[in-house]
Each structure stands twice: as structure tokens, then as C-alpha cells.
Amino acid sequence: MPRGIIYLVGAGPGAPGLITLRGVECLKRAEVVVYDYLANEQLLNHAPATAERIYAGKIGGRHNQDQDEINRLLVSKGLEGKVVVRLKGGDPFVFGRGGEECEALCAAGIPFEIVPGVTAAVGASAYAGIPLTHRDFTASVAFVTGQEGKDKDESTIDWQHLALGSGTIVFYMGITTLRRNMQRLADNGRSPHTPVALVRWATTSGQQVLTGTIVDIADKAEAIGFKPPAVTIVGEVVGLRDQLRWFDNRPLSGRKIIVTRAAEQAGEFSAMLEARGATVLECPTIKLIEPDSWSELDVALTDMSRYDWLVLTSGNAVRFFFERLNALQLDSRALGGCKVCAVGPKTAEVIRTYGIRPDLIPADYKAEGVVAEFARLGINGQTVLYPRADKARDLIPQQLEVMGAHVMSPIAYRNVLPDRLCPEALFALEKRCVDCITFTSSSTVRNLSHLLGIDLLTDMLKGVTVASIGPITSKSCRDLGLKVDIEPAEYTLGALTEAIAQHFLISV
């Protein structure tokens, strides 16, 4: 019987970007992924779609599977000859029970590899702005389980040595035993005024930090209902947080923002907002699909030599245009001497990925800007191809034809309603815990209105900041009874992100 291999991979403390390159390599090879509660589920996207995914986590102290079952599962999959990734929050060998799993694999003769991860103490301290060591404060740090002795009459930890012999102390999984652990430190000689920090969901957009001292941190935690998972950091270094904090004082920290772009487009915008501290809920209100027929576009693509200009007004138009070109066994050479107009820098950036440098980018990044540029250049007697969405405005073809151009505007893609809205985003709106909703095209707001109804739309967005990418989208918002709070001077995602950040900085 073939033997597989088990990779025990540290998933890091929460942020998906903190996994190691080796960890990602292993996930890409996986046939089976066995993952924990604390392992960010986004990491599963690195595994092949065909890989079996098995949740073996633990929530609030309750195991989905106990450790013996997990050990047997890993052995079983290994004996089947599978490539298995055991994805564990933090580091497998730091309070991760990785040693026990390796012992079971050794006993069964199954090869394994340990891929270290950023352990919770290191991730939490860094993202809270608390150095674990600092030559002005301490040269030692101790990692301790906060759950030790929970069901025992006596603790096996040397509390006196821990209290007096360690500079910084980090308790893992110690929120439910916080009061007892702090009392033991005080009873064994640690000053009750020693600074303490609790860090929950470290390195993620949901990170929470609560500070106090040994004598009052438990009262503070109980007063606000501070819950696990969290680590407890004890030591004078905690006092540096006010000076060194960087992660949770970004302009959008603590803000919940809804992104309504299509699912395949949302990632870039979401990443911009998250980089500024926002918690992003992706709620696509549009779905982009192929046209009912390709015939009109195909006619154009098979004889591009008759066109003087190709006008592309969105990244979507670019993608659908070149994907269809490829489907016809053609490439960018088919454009020949045809000049290319991109509506703005982001559209131009997408065009460049296909090896084409746009000849024209209007200063005003909307349809009116395209019309103005061609009016300046003169287009009488020229032929223009304008692949578009089914719901695009007719401004460009109408105005160019008024100028004497011949315009063909085939449908390159359709904008339809999604099957449903994101339940998490709807729940957040119902609970009145959304700070901002973003609209990056008229379709995003109109479709949301169709899906919710105008009355429910306006009710759910009461008190929610509305951010629109530009005047056309803003008009659509106002036509539906919405007040637009944010509209950048430049109609790009980057400018919209900066405008949102500036808005909330001013409103603090």
C-alpha cells in the first residue's frame, strides 16, 4: 500500500498573508486539507479545487473532533497514499499539539514535514505595537498556556519563577482563566501595577486590544464582554503600545464597509480598503455574463482592419473583448493599425496586460471625456468599434455619429442581477453596524434597489455613509433617494479609497 506524506503547516495568527511561502507550496500540492478553527479559511483557496477539505476545529473549548480522532484521520489518509496538509493556526509546535500528531504518524510509519508558522504571541504583539523584548525593559519572554490546571487542584507551572524570573509573559488561550492567572502572578510577587494587554483575533481586521494592569484587567475584560480567542501579554513592554501602535490606528480601523462590485472585480478594491484598516464585506450586486449572441462582435473581430478606433470604457469590456478574440484563435495582432482609446488609467492598465499601449486616455474618466477628446481630435469619416455592456449609456455612439463617425457597438457582456445578496452583508445592514457602502457604477446601486426594493434600500442605508465613484453613479444614487456623502474628484478606485479614508479621518 502506498504511503502518503503529511505536511503540518503553520497557518499563522490570522491574516492570510502571514503564511510562509513553503506553506503555500504545500497547500498547492494537497489532496486533503485538515484545518483548524484558527486557520484563516481564505488559505484554503491555495489548495486545488479537487482537494478534500475537512474541518477539525475547536470553538469555545468544544472540539469538532478530539485529538485522538484527528490523529487517526491523519494516519488513515496517509496510509491511503494521500498528500495531506494539516493546517494549524499559529505554529504547529507552539501550543498546537503538533508533537502529538507527529508521534502518531511516526508510530504508523508515515513521513511528515513540519512547516513553521508565525505563532500567535509574535503576531499579536507585532500587530498591537508591543515588542516582546526591548533592551530598556526586558531581555526575556515566556510563552505559557493559560488553560493549564483548569481541571486540576494544583498547577504544574512554577508561578513564582514565572512571576519574578520572566520579563514578558504571554498566555495562550487564557481569557476564561484570566482573573485566576493574574491573581497567581500577583500572589507570587509580580507588581499588581504591571501593564497587561489582551489581543483578540490578532492580525485580522477584527483585531481588538484591551489594556490594563494585573490588578484591573480582568474587571475591564468582564465589563465589555471580552471573548476568546485572544492572547494575554504581561510586562512593562505593554506600555510602549501607545507610541508604537500602527495596525489599529489606520484611517479606516474599526470601520465596516460594503463593496458592491462584481465578485471577480471586488478583490482589488477590497484590498485597498483593508490596507487602510477596514473590515470589508463583499456583496456583489452585479453579475457579468456573456451576451446572448456573439455574432455581432465576432463579425467585427474577424475584420478589425476596417476600424480606425477601438474604444474600451472599462476593465470588463477589455477582458470580454480579448477573451472573445482568443476564443476565435486570434490575438492582439488582429488589431493591426487600429488605434485604442481607454476611458481611464485603470482601463489602460488592463489593456497593457494584453500587450497593447492605448493611444488615447481622456483627462475626464467617463463617457463625456471620451466624447470631448474625439471632438478635439476630429473623427469625421472614421470607423469606431465600441464593445459595451448591454446596459451601457448610448452617449458615446450617439455623439460620435453626430461628429460624422460610423460606430459599431456590439454587446460584449451582460450585466444581470446576482442570484442572491451576501447574507453577511444584509445581516450587518439590519444590525445597523455598517459604516459605509460603496457604489462603483450605476448598475451596482440600481441592481441593489431591484433586489431590495426602494423602500427597504433607503431604510437599510439610513445612517450609512454612501460613497460613489463619480457623478454618473452619484446621479443614480440620488434618483433612488440616497444621499451621496463621498465622491472623489478623480473617478478611480484609488481616489475613491482615499476619499473614504479622508472622510472618516475628518469625522472622528
| Edge-to-edge order in the sheet of strand 279-282 | 279-282, 256-259, 436-439, 465-468
CA angle centred on 374, ends 371 and 379, rounded to 5°: 125
C-alpha distances (whole Å) from 227 to each of 60, 209, 220, 240, 256 are 9, 11, 12, 24, 20
Give pLDDT, residue 403.
95
Considering only CA atoms, which of 480, 428, 425, 485 is closest in space to residue 454?
480
pLDDT at 282: 93
In a domain, 370, yes or no: yes
Looking at the structure, do residues 184 and 36 belong to the same domain, yes or no?
Answer: no
Residues 127, 233, single domain; the answer is yes
Judgement on whether residues 35 and 113 belong to the same structural domain of the protein: yes
Q: Is residue 112 part of a domain?
A: yes
Query: In the prediction, which pLDDT does 60 show?
Result: 47
Q: Where are the beta strands (DSSP E) in 50-194?
A: 52-55, 58-59, 62-63, 83-88, 112-115, 141-145, 168-172
Question: Domain containing 404 — which CATH number?
Answer: 3.40.50.10090
Helices 493-507 and 266-275: crossing angle in degrees, nearest 10, is: 30
- Give the contacts of 22 (CB within 8 A, at least 6 positions apart): 9, 115
Contacts of 376 (CB under 8 A, 6+ apart): none
Q: Identify the CA nearest to 321 among candidates 411, 392, 400, 415.
A: 411
Beta bridge partners of 197: 211, 233
- CA–CA dist 328, 325 (Å, integer): 5
Q: Which of 375, 397, 414 is the last residue of a domain?
A: 414
* Low pLDDT (below 70) residues in the chain: 1-2, 58-65, 149-153, 507-508
pLDDT attached to residue 508:
54
CA angle 120, 126, 129 (to 5 degrees): 130
Query: Mind telling me the catalytic residues?
Result: 36, 58, 173
What contacts 24+ positions apart, CB below 8 Å, involve 492-499? 492/344, 492/345, 492/346, 492/365, 493/268, 493/269, 493/272, 493/346, 493/440, 493/469, 494/272, 496/269, 496/438, 496/440, 496/467, 496/469, 497/269, 497/272, 497/273, 497/276, 499/467
Q: What is the dihedral of CA 213, 214, 216, 217, to 10 degrees?
A: 80
pLDDT score of 507: 65
406 and 432 housed in the same domain: no
- H helix intervals, 96-228: 98-108, 120-128, 159-165, 178-187, 217-224
Give CA–CA dist 370/388, Å, rounded.
14
Scanning the structure block, which residue is given the C-alpha cell 463593496?
Answer: 259
Q: Tell me whether strands 436-439 and 411-416 are parallel, antiparallel or unpaired.
A: unpaired
Report the Cα 23 to chain-centroid distance in Å.
Answer: 19
Q: Is 251 inside a domain boundary?
A: no
What is the total count of domains within the chain? 4
Cβ contact 452:420 at 8 Å: no
250 occurs within a structural domain: no
Q: Which of 9, 104, 15 is nearest to 66 (CA)?
A: 104
Output the pTM of the full model: 0.73
Q: Which three cell numbers stand for residue 490?
A: 478623480
For the chain, helix, strand, coil in percent to 5 are 40, 20, 40
Q: Are 388 and 345 contained in the same domain?
A: yes
Contact 390, 415 (CB under 8 A): yes
Rounded distance between C-alpha atoms, residue 10 and residue 39, angstroms: 8
Query: Which of 396, 414, 432 is at the close of a domain?
Result: 414
Residue 249: inside a domain: no
Are 443 and 495 in the same domain? Answer: yes
Q: State the alpha helices, DSSP H only, in 241-303.
A: 241-244, 266-275, 295-301
Residue with cell 440616497: 482
Specify whether 156 is located in the same domain as 230: yes
Asked if residue 59 belongs to a domain, the reply is yes
Domain CATH for 87: 3.40.1010.10
In this structure, the answer to whether residues 86 and 132 fall within a common structural domain is no
Is residue 281 domain-shared with residue 430, that is, in the same domain?
yes
Domain that holds residue 170: 122-244
- Domain assignment present for residue 300? The answer is yes
Question: Of 387, 414, 441, which one is at a domain's C-terminal end?
Answer: 414
| Residue 41, in any domain of the structure | yes
- Residues 140 and 209 both lie in one domain: yes
Are 170 and 223 contained in the same domain?
Answer: yes
- Same domain flag for 467 and 488: yes
